[in-house]
Structure 1
Amino acid sequence: MTQSPLIPVFDGHNDTLLRLRERREPDGGAAAFLEGGAGGQLDLPRAREGGLFGGLFAVFTPSRQLGVDYVAMMREAGYDVPLPSPLPISEAQSATLGMIAGLMRIERASDGAVAICRSVGDIETAKARGALATVLHIEGAEAIGPDLDMLHVAYAAGLRSLGPVWSRPNVFGHGAPFRFPSSPDIGPGLTMAGKDLLAECDRLKILFDLSHLNEAGFWDVARLSRQPLVATHSNAHAVTPHARNLTDAQLDAIRDSGGLVGLNFATCFLREDGRMRADTGLETIARHLDHLIGRLGEDHVGFGSDFDGAIVPAGIGDVAGLPRLFEALRGHGFDDDLLKKIAAENWLALLQRSWGN
């Protein structure tokens, strides 16, 4: 049997920088990422094996005081994971700078095999020479603060995508909790500081990620932003009624803005029962893609895998398993032209609309 050629993939979300930081190695995890074989779901050798040529690399500061095993809670049929209190800015800034520095160490140590990209042109140049195109993303803006000084420092370091909140609240707004079943319409939206952050991101052309915002915050962004609406790693609420998933009305607004949704591989957002379990079939991904394409159209859907941040279906396993996903989607009836759009072309077109050249 002839193996299908690799489909190039640009992915909207991973948590690899946090995984590498938690290794606490002098090189910031650069060797572990570049050489592979150190666990997790994403490193350079496996990215090449799976066809991944680039993506948004998230900087996320976890909360030490959560005090619960949220993955264990989400293995059950219904749950409402308690969220931690807001994160101290000093802790968030230390972790954020550490992860940004970690990506810079990887780039320096890679001998040109990894590139931090600040534009679509940078991404295309890196892809053309076979380098992994990494785009810096912050998930949860606790490190920035309402004065926005840190935003400009991070922008100079390469920040081009930002989610104002993770699921915990912060000075900018309120996130959607890990709750199933649940509506995303929970609590107030953006604060005045959040609206100021949005305005400055619009001015700088930093993509403003909607994935963890609650519904009120989503509609604040839809009303105020001049940019396409983007949820880098979210799924369809009509298929899986999780608080983190997007309603049809939200999907319609994203479509009308020329935006994009990156489908999340985390099984709790895929399964109809909301459980976080690896024994989840790839048909769950096809089911969400069917719904997302039906609402958004085939030009406004991509991937936002959540590699290194979630339990994904065992049929994928890690980034090297992406070709198995494509084979499953071919069996579902997706042709290669559509798969190439979902895998990368739609993301690059969206970034072009958001950033320009």
Structure 2
Amino acid sequence: MQKVFDGHNDILLRLHMAPERRSEIFLTGEGKGHLDLPRMQAGGFAGGMFAIYVPSPYDDEGDDAVAGFRAPPYDMPLPELIHAPEAIGPAMHQAGLFHWMVRASGGAFRHCLTVKDIRAAVDAGAIAGVLHMEGAEAIGADLDALHLFHAVGMRSLGPVWSRPTIFGHGVPFRFPADPDTGPGLTPAGEALVRECNSLRIMLDLSHLNAAGFRDVMRVSDAPLVATHSNAHAICHSTRNLTDWQLDAIAESDGMVGLNFAVGFLRPDGLEDPNFDWDVMMRHLDHLISRLGENRVGFGSDFDGAMMPAGIADVEGLPRLVQACLDHQFGAELVEKLAFSNWMRVLEKTWGK
């Protein structure tokens, strides 16, 4: 079975929202959500980026929260900025849950800091976990908390989720629209980028608006990476990358992970999981045409978005791999998409 390294998932948020059921959710599986240890092992999930995400205090988890996605066009308002004193608790709790996963798994899930660690975990039949942060709300302008999270093993960070931070601005959820939606990085955001470069923390440009993207291009000396984003040419969502952004990522020798979220895949922007593999293949074709075969991978957004019916959850990864083979990508390219391209960009970013 082809092993798949995944650019983004949100299981830590699921555990954070129900910590009393963490053993059931992760270790044995509850039959809900997209990820648990047994299904990861069954689906050939080699590992990936496990995201710390701080939910807004007033997030609506009911049907109204996604009503806009069900009836494009839409323009959904963003939650307000969350300050570091409010965010540090939930963020540290999720970092702790990540380390609990390592301990509780009995060696089946490993915390990885280097590409060598990832390869060793995969060779041993374990899941390779990289600690990531989606939205830097828990980090203050002094950046002290950045060093704290680095010390507990965080090696990838997105300065924003779509909600604004003191560092910059994310894209609102709009369709149809492009990501040129507001101002760029703040001075604190530029300092954050430089310090991440210094610490060799990978910067994730998913959710960042166009002006912020340009600022990272200007300030950063690392490859440009979007862990879970798609092609705007196929689906005109603000969350997707335009061709000039893809060309900039290619120029930096960076990487894009294909997001499986149905609303960012479908050309009509509809939150409906029922569509053919052709939709995902069109995105992959376009990404490869702009980025080349060495700079595209997968970034599922498992446990953070609605999945296509053909995938459904992590056990659907072999079906995606087969769809790529049926699309005549060839076994060598499919292996790159599934695993090796992530190893290449992580090694280039981390330096080891």
TM-score range, shorter chain: over 0.9
1:321 to 277, 295, 316: 316
The Cα of 1:31 is off from its aligned counterpart by 4.4
1:253 aligns to what? 248
Structure 2 residues not aligned, in runs of 5+: none
1:210 aligns to what? 205
The alignment of Structure 1 onto Structure 2 pairs a total of residues equal to 350
Taking the aligned partners of 1:30 and 1:105, their CA distance within structure 2 comes to: 10
TM (norm. structure 1) is: 0.96
Taking the aligned partners of 1:48 and 1:79, their CA distance within structure 2 comes to: 38
1:32 aligns to what? 25
Paired letter, 2:293: E
Q: Report the 3-state secondary structure (helix = DSSP H, G, I; strand = E; otherwise coil) of the residue aligned with 1:236.
A: coil
Correspondence 1:14-163 to 2 at 5 A: 14-25=9-20, 29-67=22-60, 69-163=64-158
Taking the aligned partners of 1:36 and 1:197, their CA distance within structure 2 comes to: 37
Correspondence 1:202-351 to 2 at 5 A: 202-351=197-346
Q: Report the 3-state secondary structure (helix = DSSP H, G, I; strand = E; otherwise coil) of the residue aligned with 1:238.
A: coil
Correspondence 1:346-357 to 2 at 5 A: 346-357=341-352
The Cα of 1:89 is off from its aligned counterpart by 2.0
Taking the aligned partners of 1:47 and 1:336, their CA distance within structure 2 comes to: 22
Q: Report the 3-state secondary structure (helix = DSSP H, G, I; strand = E; otherwise coil) of the residue aligned with 1:20.
A: helix
Aligned partners of 2:130 and 2:155 also within 8 Å? yes
The Cα of 1:88 is off from its aligned counterpart by 3.0
4+ aligned runs moved over 6 Å, structure 1: none
Paired letter, 1:131: A
Q: Deviations over 1:191-241 (max 9, x none)?
A: 000000000000000000000100000010011110000000000011111
Q: Deviations over 1:305-331 (max 9, x none)?
A: 000000010110000011111222222
Aligned partners of 1:70 and 1:81 also within 8 Å? no
Correspondence 1:1-20 to 2 at 5 A: 6-20=1-15
The Cα of 1:41 is off from its aligned counterpart by 0.2
Aligned partners of 1:30 and 1:102 also within 8 Å? no
The Cα of 1:37 is off from its aligned counterpart by 2.9
Q: Report the 3-state secondary structure (helix = DSSP H, G, I; strand = E; otherwise coil) of the residue aligned with 1:55.
A: strand
Taking the aligned partners of 1:176 and 1:185, their CA distance within structure 2 comes to: 8
Q: Report the 3-state secondary structure (helix = DSSP H, G, I; strand = E; otherwise coil) of the residue aligned with 2:67.
A: helix
Paired letter, 1:168: R
Taking the aligned partners of 2:146 and 2:275, their CA distance within structure 1 comes to: 38
2:190 aligns to what? 195
Taking the aligned partners of 1:291 and 1:93, their CA distance within structure 2 comes to: 39
Q: Report the 3-state secondary structure (helix = DSSP H, G, I; strand = E; otherwise coil) of the residue aligned with 1:125.
A: helix
Identity of aligned residues (%): 55
Question: Greater CA deviation, 36-45 or 187-196?
Answer: 36-45
Question: Greater CA deviation, 272-281 or 192-201?
Answer: 272-281
Question: Greater CA deviation, 290-299 or 276-285?
Answer: 276-285
The Cα of 1:336 is off from its aligned counterpart by 1.3
Taking the aligned partners of 1:282 and 1:99, their CA distance within structure 2 comes to: 34
The Cα of 1:280 is off from its aligned counterpart by 2.7
Question: Greater CA deviation, 57-66 or 165-174?
Answer: 57-66
